[in-house]
Structure 1
Amino acid sequence: MAPTVIADPDGDIVLLLDPEERDGPGSPSYNRHILCSSKHLTLASPIFKAMLKHTFSEGATLMTIGQVKIPLPEDDPTLMTSLVLLIHNRHNHPDIRPPRDLSLLNRAAILVDKYQIHEAVSYFTAAWARCYLDHNAIRFHPFREFPLLFCVAWVFELEAPFKEITRFIQYNCVGSIKDLMEIGDEDLPIPAGVIEMLETARLGAIEDTIQVLASLIAKYQNRRGAAMCRVDGTQLTNFNLVHAHRDMCDATVLGSLTRGAMQEGLYPAAATGDLRNGSVYLVMQRVLGVNFTTGCENLRDLMPNPPGRPRRVYSCHGIREQMGAAMMDVKGRLSGLDLKEEKGRFKSSPFLGYR
């Protein structure tokens, strides 16, 4: 006979977990039973509350006989046992097994969401997750595990980790975030709108990064006679050559910058479509890696000032630094999502808006 875990000695419901595989037809036998209270289950879970109404077979059996067995063949027996015991306030029961790794935490989060028991177990599930994250920093996880981290932070309502996790996904996800979240056969309980918000931010940051280079090229194209090169008479011995040199330098920057951007697939706009399949990080690295030159590259050791210390022309004119500063601004706007705001958008119904 299968062992019975006693959540409530006066219980009227037996949950059946961990079915044995059967070769032929017929009902399977279950390796774990949990004796529990319909009152506790219905108070904690709207799913069990609906199931135990007289309009469902389980509820009708309970009303007629006074006890009912409910098979839960798909639920993890260890995690479900722990959650049911917590619902019954059996906090020190020896059969409570806190999940110790991310996969188990994620499965616990899926169960909590499946039965909508967030409030009843929130203190303990949040403690489980924080204990795990205290020993396993978010940034050290392989990227393939970030959907699981996302799910855990969302379901267990961990504000700071949620913001850090979503920011990391925004910045590092290669390709669609929706595709990233579709792992294996598990449908993670995260509203589609939350994922769409992340994807919108990712694509927006890629567009802004591409625009950094496009704006710089446009700046040189539309300089309207005002030279960008700042070489002056202190750097060229022949002052009459200053204006000609400035024009030549700007033309060199424009030509080499345009050529380098085209080689990296960053220019013109019509050629940048494939970049949306990369990550914000990778696109930023492409922009910073664009090869260009200036007309001032050959100006060296001109007009010593003070004596013995030759003044050198800053040959790249700070262009790469400008690009870097602009991209740091783009990166700074990728701040992750605010958990309270996102929860507020999907609070109206737990059954709407999920993938």
Structure 2
Amino acid sequence: MHFVIERGIVSHTIRMEDRTFDPNGDITLIMRSHLEDDQTSERTTTTESVIESTPMHVRMLVSSKHLVLASSVFGAMLQGRFNEGQTLRSAGYLELPLPDDDPVAFSILLDVIHGHTRKVPHKYQLQEVVEVFSDGWVQALSREVPASLTADLIHWLCIFWVFGQSDKFKLMTRIMERESGGTIWTEDLPIPPAVLDAIENKRQGVIASAISMLTDLITNYQNSTPRCPRSGDNAFKCDAMVLGALIKSSISIGLWPPPAPPFTGISFCALSGQIHQMKVPTLCDTIGQTEGWYGSRGDYPYYDRGELPAHIGIKESIEASFRSLEDQLCGLDISTFKA
């Protein structure tokens, strides 16, 4: 069984190196390349140059899973009753000769199939040629689409951008907005700078708002006006305890003194997790008039009259603010950039 990829008229091909598309691959494709014979370059006729070539073998280590997902032909061969499929199942490995296929053209398809998008040439703007197949490819590989910020996410973002898949583009940009620390390497992929700028601007914007919220809270506790409803020294001691806890917690997560943009190395997702771990005790907790912010606040004597002191529930208030900020990191609409 052969898989021929037409390239048109080619005078000769240059020797390709062996390729590993999947280091854990279970199939080695063997194709014929040609090494140009330099000694024949001076032999010419009156009409054209005579170019001789020597056949060579190119070996490509690939994943049978990716081949089967991408191609029904490979699926029938490797999962059916063909000898190739039986050998693969019994030995766990297969060498598959494809003598009639062009290794240069085939390697481009293998890069696409294995998700090596940065190796796919973009010079000739060929995405429209394969766009009709993109939905099927993405559906077949849907389980490999990252759900968090990984090294492969930028490649998937490029795929969804090129083929205009708006929902998945929005999902990838949402992950980057929430989990990026400010450094995004595009690896020369054809992603517009405006997309990356928008992701970074939203990241910086919500982090700046979070820092401002904490700074305002600390400033309020630095004022001379007591926030604890207790009288005398107890109010001062309670406010001082809250102020100290806020500053110390903010220092531990790198937010005090307040950092300046661009907040390199700070992701909103990590920051939100650190905020959740903050401890903000009060004197009221210590003397037992409330169970604290994680317990019931009904034990506080002012609660039934709707006079809950401002410093009770600080932790919940901070976390609620962070949830509101997180909702702003909802991803980008591809239509904004594809005018």
**TM-score category by the smaller chain?**
0.5 to 0.7
The answer to which of 256-265 and 242-251 deviates more is 242-251
Q: Deviations over 1:78-98 (max 9, x none)?
A: 165x6xxxxxxxxxxxxxx89
CA-to-aligned-CA distance 1:246-278 (integer Å, 9 cap, x gap): 343223212331233234321122x56795223
Structure in which a larger fraction of residues adopt helix? 1
Kindly state the Cα deviation for residue 17 of structure 1 after the two structures are TM-superposed. Answer: 6.0
Question: Are 1:181 and 2:209 counterparts?
Answer: no
**Runs (5+) with no aligned partner, structure 2:** 18-34, 42-50, 58-102, 291-297, 302-307
Pairs within 5 Å for 1:1-355: 5=4, 7=6, 13-14=9-10, 19-20=15-16, 25=38, 76-78=104-106, 99-103=112-116, 106=117, 110-111=120-121, 113-133=122-142, 135-139=143-147, 143-177=150-184, 180-182=185-187, 187-222=188-223, 225=225, 227-229=226-228, 231=229, 242=231, 244-269=233-258, 271=259, 275-300=263-288, 311=299, 317-344=312-339
TM-score by length of 2: 0.61
Cα deviation, residue 161, structure 1: 0.7
**Other structure's SS at 1:343 match:** coil
Tell me how far apart the structure 1 counterparts of residues 275 and 216 of structure 2 sit (CA, whole Å): 12
**Are the aligned partners of 1:210 and 1:287 in contact in 2 as well (CA < 8 Å)?**
no
SS at 1:144 equivalent: coil
Q: Which residue of the partner structure matches residue 90 of structure 1?
A: none
* Partner SS state of residue 193, structure 1: helix
User: Structure 1: where are the runs of 5+ without partners?
Assistant: 33-74, 83-96, 232-240, 303-309, 345-355
**Residues 285 and 16 of structure 1, relative CA distance in 2, 3 Å threshold:** farther
Is the CA contact (8 Å cut-off) linking 2:210 and 2:325 kept in structure 1?
A: yes
Distance 2:317 2:336 in 1: 34
2:177–2:202: 8 Å Cα contact kept in structure 1? Answer: yes
Mapped to 2, the partners of 1:325 and 1:15 lie a distance apart of 67
- Distance change >3 Å, CA 76–CA 333, structure 1 → 2: farther
User: What SS does the corresponding residue of 2:135 show, helix, strand or coil?
Assistant: helix
- Give the percent of matched residue pairs that are identical in Structure 1 and Structure 2: 26
Is the contact between residue 162 and residue 337 of structure 1 (CA under 8 Å) also seen in structure 2?
yes
Q: How far apart are 1:243 and its partner, in Å?
A: 5.7
| SS of residue in 2 equivalent to 1:102 | coil
Tell me how many residue pairs correspond in the alignment: 251
Q: Distance in 2 between matches of 1:242 and 1:29?
A: 96
Q: Distance in 1 between matches of 2:186 and 2:179?
A: 14
The separation in 2 between residues aligned to 1:340 and 1:219, in whole angstroms, is: 43
Instruction: Report if the CA contact (8 A) 1:249-1:294 is conserved.
Output: yes
User: Equivalents in 2 of 1:263, 1:4: separation in Å?
Assistant: 60
CA 1:107–1:275: 2 relative to 1, 3 Å? closer
Residue-by-residue CA offset, 1:270-326 (whole Å, 9 max, x unaligned): x56795223222222333334432121222268xxxxxxx93579971111111111
1:248–1:129 distance in 2 versus 1, CA, 3 Å: same
The farther-off stretch of 253-262 and 314-323 is: 314-323
Cα 1:162–1:79 change in 2 (3 A) is farther
Which deviations, in whole Å up to 9, do the C-alpha atoms of 1:108-157 show, x marking residues without a partner?
Answer: 8x44x432233333221232123211x33431x67111111111111111
Contact 2:118–2:189, Cα closer than 8 Å, also in 1: no
AA matched with 1:136 = E
